[in-house]
Structure 1
Amino acid sequence: MDRYMPLTGIDLVPASLLIDTEAPLDVLQAAADYRIRAVTQVLENIAFRAEIGCDTVVLSDFSKLLAIPLRDGCDLMDVIGRRLRAQTKV
């Protein structure tokens, strides 16, 4: 695995947002946790509202906005998984 892995949602070369795959596991986990919990908090706030008046364009844009930190969190969790699997093979 390369030292620096670009985030999934960015297809530019060279990539400007990278994950340090050699960062301590607790640091990677904390970064993933922060992003996933932020999305969860927003979604819970929406889910428990009595009334939401939005059109489909707003909902579409909003879902795209929430997908970014969620994807970042998944990328971080992927690095953690790879590192843990590599440790068990040694």
Structure 2
Amino acid sequence: MRGGLIHQQSTENESIHALTGHDCTVPALLIDTSAPLDVLHDAAVYRIRAVTQLLENLAFREQLSSDAVVLQDFAQLLAIPLRDGCDLLDVFSRRLNADPS
């Protein structure tokens, strides 16, 4: 898995960007950068809140025992929607900064 900038998909539609959390030559998960800002924001918030809620539930448990492999898999599982949310917020931010009004 990699992080970083959103990679623009070379298609006729210049408003589509691939999510950065999935490293492949033909991305299947894309962000429509022309979507309404409230839709981009809601999609980002949904993903980030889901990760936050799960992490908070784990943090406040009395006992939590697990081996390192399970914790590593769990961290990777949580990183996927978190990275997606960050990618969406990146598009959201660029759209806000580009808006002259």
TM-score of the superposed pair, with normalisation by structure 2: 0.84
* Structure 1 residue ranges, 4+ long, deviating more than 2 angstroms after superposition: none
Of structures 1 and 2, the one scoring higher in RCO (CA 8 A, sep 6+) is 1
Secondary structure of the structure 2 residue equivalent to 1:49: coil
Count of matched residue positions in the alignment of Structure 1 and Structure 2: 89
Structure 1 portions without partners, runs of 5+: none
Secondary structure of the structure 2 residue equivalent to 1:62: helix
User: What percent identity do the matched residue pairs reach?
Assistant: 62
**1:7 to 2:13 alignment:** no
Structure 2 portions without partners, runs of 5+: 1-7, 9-13
For 2:65, the equivalent position in structure 1 comes to 53
For 1:23, the equivalent position in structure 2 comes to 35
Partner AA of 2:29 in structure 1: L
Secondary structure of the structure 2 residue equivalent to 1:22: coil
TM-score of the superposed pair, with normalisation by structure 1: 0.94
Secondary structure of the structure 2 residue equivalent to 1:19: strand
The offset of 1:11, in angstroms, is 2.1
CA-based RMSD of the aligned residues comes to 1.3
